[in-house]
Amino acid sequence: MTENLIDEMLNKINQITNSLDITINKVGKMSGDIDKLTLTFSKEIVSLTENIRLIIEVLRQFRVKSNEKLGVLSKEINAKVKKLWEKKSVEHITEQHQKNINIIKQVSSSVTDTLYYTQLLSVVQSIRELMGRALQANK
Task: Judge contact between 41 and 137, C-beta under 8 A.
Answer: no
Summarised one tens digit per residue, pLDDT across range 106-133 is 877 777 777 777 888 888 888 888 888 8
> Would you list the domain boundaries of the chain?
2-138
With 80 as the cut, is the pLDDT of residue 55 above it? yes
Closest CA relative to residue 70, chosen from 13, 30, 115, 40: 115
With 60 as the cut, is the pLDDT of residue 90 above it? no
- Give the pLDDT of residue 61: 87
- Which of 2-11, 25-34, 49-58, 107-116 shows the lowest per-residue confidence on average (mean pLDDT)? 107-116
E-assigned strand segments in the chain:
none
Confidence class of residue 63 from pLDDT cuts 50, 70 and 90? confident
- Give the pLDDT of residue 129: 84
Summarised one tens digit per residue, pLDDT across range 22-36 is 999 999 999 999 999
Question: How high does pLDDT run on average in the chain?
Answer: 83
Task: Judge contact between 109 and 65, C-beta under 8 A.
Answer: no
